[in-house]
Amino acid sequence: MLKINDLKIITNTGRKLVDGFSFVLNEGDKIALIGEEGNGKSTLLKIIAGVSDEEYVTYSGSVYCDEKIGYLPQRLSDEDLKKDVLSYIGDPIDYNELYQVINRIGIDDELLQERTMSSLSGGERVKIALAKILYDGADILLLDEPSNDLDLKTLIWLEQFILNTSLPLIFVSHDETLLENCANGMLHLEQLKRKTECSLTYESLGYRQYLENRNAFITRNNMIASKQRAQLQKQLDRWRTLYQKVEHRQNTISRGDPHGGQLLKKKMKNLKSQERNLQQQKENMRKTFEPEEAIDIFFEDVKLNPDKVILDLHLKELRAGDKLLVKDLDLKILGRDKVCIIGDNGTGKTTLLKAIYERLKDRDDIRVGYMPQNYQELLDYEKKPLDFLWDRRSVDERKRIQTFLGTLKFTSEEMEHRISELSEGQKCKILLAKMILEKKDVLILDEPSRNLSPLSNPQLRKMLSDFKGCIIAVSHDRKFISEVADKVYELCDRRLSLLE
């Protein structure tokens, strides 16, 4: 049994991440831990797993577990990446037991050949890391974003693993389809009121039902809050009218009418009492709930001609060093096409996307925006977000960018952080902001949804679906592919083929 009692987590800057959280993980639980980037999901998992780094946070409360926890971090350490696969799994190894684990979860034993962990693809690393956890005899699984860097085939494998395992688990993922298909309980970690309050909600529901209930609650709550505000405003208006009348009569009453003066003084006292009651009512009335993921951004004044030729690419071959990735490639893309390229990891999708960007970036008849997988290719990590986005031509423009970052849920404090100190999701939002502010009409996006929370991703998809320009993207996100792309190409066996 895993039992958490009255857990409190506070960052060294004084921000509360968790306050008084109690929870029991039961047999059969497959709990998804969700929330926006930087809210402390990884920190919470580390504390539960007993591997927390106390350099950045302090915590109190208790975590009790009488079973063995298997913890999969977001990223392997540099030390683990240098190891060969068998050394990473353990030494000495009982090969009979290891092969039973590998066969049970459907791993190709070729992965056990003499390769370093760093040479494996993202999906292969996840498979080996899970094999190590099960080989070590874990009774409970804590998985921190196991779906990151997985291709579609491995994502489906991961789904089946989570669905079929008998072990209770808590997992973090940005993949909404994975959440919908696998989770039977939700832990939602939030930072509300401009990150001045924290909330951790548990519901024994699937992801879709949880969102439906949450959205219904927000709608109902905000409707009641709106009615209460309207009713209070009417009361305040009536009170203000009476107050002004009594005040006017007090100022004009004759000194020869002491009785009338006494009545007015009594009325004024009653009005002052009513004012205090109305202020108390205002403090106690229901507050409007603003979800932290509610971002309101869109591309303005972007409209490409649908028949404009954006790309007419013919390549005999595309290589990465000596490795042949694609041959006999023909790809034509028009003004409002929304193209998504899919394929297994290692087939060359990112290399192809970079080649397309290099071909288009200097065109003067289109404005090309690019989001690489590695944000550091474009972001200056030493700069603050505002300094990166502001061209210093206008003070008004600086104010506009500050407001814009506010709509992306950056606090004033976060706007003063170096970009290197921000979460991956926030870095993604800065690149999106740059594209919007510069009115890019051709977007080249390498896995744009991978670092945004599952709650923010629907808004990203809507924005890109409504975009009146051209999109060329690589993605493994099934909802992104189905809701944004109107043409899907698969890169397989060195061929790029349009899927019908």
The CA–CA distances, whole Å, from 357 to 340, 370, 374, 380 equal 14, 7, 15, 19
Is residue 267 in some structural domain? Answer: no
Spatial CA neighbour of 175 closest among 481, 448, 375, 450: 450
Same domain? 206 vs 343: no
Percent of the chain with pLDDT over 70: 99
Collapsing DSSP to helix, strand or coil, 100 comes out as: helix
Residue span of the structural domain in which 317 resides: 309-499
Helices (H), 50-108: 78-82, 85-89, 95-105
Of residues 277 and 258, more confidence is placed in: 277
- Give 210's pLDDT tier (boundaries 50, 70, 90): very high
Collapsing DSSP to helix, strand or coil, 119 comes out as: helix
Is residue 36 in some structural domain? Answer: yes
pLDDT of residue 301: 82
Is residue 479 in some structural domain? Answer: yes
Report angle CA 211, 215, 217 to the nearest 5 degrees.
Answer: 115
The domain boundary residue, chosen from 170, 190, 214: 214
Same domain? 50 vs 182: yes
pLDDT of 255 higher than 80: no
Tokens of 208: 């879709």
Same domain? 60 vs 182: yes
Is residue 258 in some structural domain? Answer: no
Collapsing DSSP to helix, strand or coil, 303 comes out as: coil
The sign of the torsion formed by the CA atoms of 125, 130, 133, 136 equals negative
**What digits encode the pLDDT tens for the residues 362-397?**
999 999 999 999 999 999 999 999 999 987 778 888
pLDDT of residue 267: 87
Same domain? 352 vs 208: no
Is residue 369 in some structural domain? Answer: yes
pLDDT of 294 higher than 80: no
User: Phi, psi at residue 443, to the nearest 5°?
Assistant: -110, 125
Same domain? 37 vs 157: yes
Same domain? 73 vs 209: yes
Same domain? 341 vs 206: no
pLDDT of residue 183: 98
Is residue 283 in some structural domain? Answer: no
- Give 54's pLDDT tier (boundaries 50, 70, 90): low
Q: Do residues 468 and 302 make contact, with C-beta atoms less than 8 angstroms apart?
A: yes
Same domain? 483 vs 369: yes
Is residue 252 in some structural domain? Answer: no
The domain boundary residue, chosen from 214, 242, 274: 214
- Give 114's pLDDT tier (boundaries 50, 70, 90): confident
**What digits encode the pLDDT tens for the residues 182-198?**
999 999 999 888 778 89
Whether residue 92 has a cis bond before it, omega within 30° of 0: yes
Same domain? 320 vs 207: no
Distance CA 226, CA 212 (A): 21
Same domain? 350 vs 455: yes
The domain boundary residue, chosen from 180, 214, 248: 214
Is residue 298 in some structural domain? Answer: no
Same domain? 210 vs 313: no
Instruction: Give the residue-averaged pLDDT of 439-461.
Output: 93
Same domain? 79 vs 183: yes
Write down the pTM of the prediction: 0.86
Q: How many domains does the chain contain in total?
A: 2
Instruction: Give the CATH number, domain containing residue 429.
Output: 3.40.50.300
Q: What is the mean pLDDT of the chain?
A: 91
